[in-house]
Structure 1
Amino acid sequence: MSNTLALEADLHVHTVASGHAFSTIGEITLAAAAKGLKAVGMTDHGPALPGGPHPYHFAALRFIPEYLNDVRVLRGVESNILGKNKLDLPDPLLDRLDLVLAGFHEGCGFDNKGVKANTRAVLALMENPRVNLICHPGNPNFPLDYAEVVRQAAATRTALEINNASFIISRRGSVGNCRTIARLCAEHDAPIAVGSDSHIAQGVGEFTEALAVLQEEGVRLEQIVNRTLASTLSFLGLDA
């Protein structure tokens, strides 16, 4: 995998709707187009996160055009894991979305449950066809049995995210865990998504640290679901 690899989609981006991000989807798509991206995942936080949008925000995503500034907008959510196979948006709303991320966040009701409970919750969600990827699974505040999670990802074809922000600005202590996940994904041919987790337009498409780790751990380009617009849409089961 080349050091100069340019992915065409960023599947983890936040707008002002998240309550603690700073750019509109218009500003984000302008920045994405300038960087050569062809798609962005508009994945604002689910309503369980303090300051997150009301559930109706996700119903209202129908007002967002499919393309803005020649960039495909994947209408999605970074949903919060509340329990075993339980997210903070109801299934009818999830069914309206192009892209569903599921992850743990502090203050959302699943703190301090331990490795076994965390792992059971993630394994169950990967059986849910509505969930496309598990976001920032290397978060040390929510430890997992990474071998089990990667095997389940390979079996269900649910992507595991290698989150660029986890290396530079968020979730301190994630780096070693992310490396372990990448190495196991390489061994088991599990699908991977790379996300910037950008909270401002200037950060969209920033993947440098994540891509370096994937290369060092032997991940093949074909394992990265968002490597091209076509591979992204195919992974999500969407029409071009």
Structure 2
Amino acid sequence: MHTHSIASTHAYATITEMAQEAHDLGLFAIAITDHARTMPGAPGPFYFESLAILPAYIKGVRVLHGIEANICDYNGNLDVEPQLQDNLEWVVASLHTLTIEGEATVEKCTQAYLGLAKNPNVNVIGHSGSEYFKYDYERVIPQLAKEGKLIEINDSAFRYKKSCASNCTQIAKLCKKYKARICVNTDSHYTHTLGRGTETLKMLEDIDFPQERIVNANEETLKAYFKEKNIYY
């Protein structure tokens, strides 16, 4: 539920190719969440507005019209206009080094996530296990849980960013403690990583994380979330 297409310009598959791979893997749904405007090479707002012309199902897979918005300041504001956020089906919000100015301290990042928690349009907090953007997990995760945000456990941390893996495990343990819901995502920039979450799922099994709080654990749990958020399926 966090993927990129060629529209992000540093991803390398079309939406149709991603949907075909999802179909071949037996996935019920994916979210296309190309990068918002302040990421170098990202498409402009008109691209996201025009996603509405796409059919809801491509290759038999529910393809959500989404965006990966950039947290652009340490108050938790995003680089996406509120109206566009509201019109999209799926909003992932993430911190990236290329899209925010100023030194990233633990306190600043904590305030950014606390501010973001109040945004009703955000579904998912993206790859928050970053070592560079470390925050006070004990302060933030209960608030994210209270506001109903999904906390992403990004499998790329276990595949490519081993230094972040321990942070992700700590976050998952606190999500379990504070009854936060999570989303296991691949952050796929090409078809070959879509649906691959083996290492993340093993970690969640090791800590005995409740499957019912993994929103995309299966089709039933995902449909339940869609129903809760009035997302067509």
Instruction: Provide the alpha-carbon RMSD of the alignment.
Output: 1.3
Q: Point out where structure 2 has 5 or more consecutive residues left out of the alignment.
A: none
Q: Deviations over 1:195-229 (max 9, x none)?
A: 01111012111111111111112210011112224
Residue 215 of structure 1 is aligned with which of 201, 205, 215?
A: 205
How many Å separate the matches in 1 of 2:33 and 2:102?
A: 22
Please state whether the residue corresponding to 1:174 is helix, strand or coil.
Answer: helix
2:227 paired with 1:234:
yes
Residue 66 of structure 2 is matched in structure 1 by: 76
How many Å separate the matches in 2 of 1:194 and 1:232?
A: 14
2:123 paired with 1:115:
no
- Higher RCO by CA contacts (8 Å cutoff, separation 6 or greater): 1
How does the TM-score come out when normalised to structure 2? 0.94
Identity %: 37
Residue 116 of structure 2 is aligned with which of 98, 118, 125?
A: 125
Aligned length: 229
Please state whether the residue corresponding to 1:86 is helix, strand or coil.
Answer: coil
Q: Tell me how far 1:239 sits from its aligned partner.
A: 3.0
Structure 1 residues 70-219: aligned runs within 5 Å? 70-83=60-73, 84-169=75-160, 171-219=161-209
Change (3 A) 1:99 1:22: same
How many Å separate the matches in 2 of 1:39 and 1:226?
A: 9
**Higher normalized helix content (fraction of residues):** 2
Q: Is the 8 A contact 1:16 1:24 kept in 2?
A: yes
Q: Point out where structure 1 has 5 or more consecutive residues left out of the alignment.
A: 1-10
Q: Tell me how far 1:111 sits from its aligned partner.
A: 4.8
**Higher normalized strand content (fraction of residues):** 1
Residue 215 of structure 2 is matched in structure 1 by: 225
How many Å separate the matches in 1 of 2:150 and 2:223?
A: 16
Q: Tell me how far 1:172 sits from its aligned partner.
A: 4.7
How does the TM-score come out when normalised to structure 1? 0.92
Post-superposition, which runs of at least 4 consecutive aligned residues in structure 1 deviate over 4 A?
none
Q: Is the 8 A contact 1:225 1:235 kept in 2?
A: no
Q: Tell me how far 1:237 sits from its aligned partner.
A: 2.8
Q: Is the 8 A contact 2:104 2:132 kept in 1?
A: no
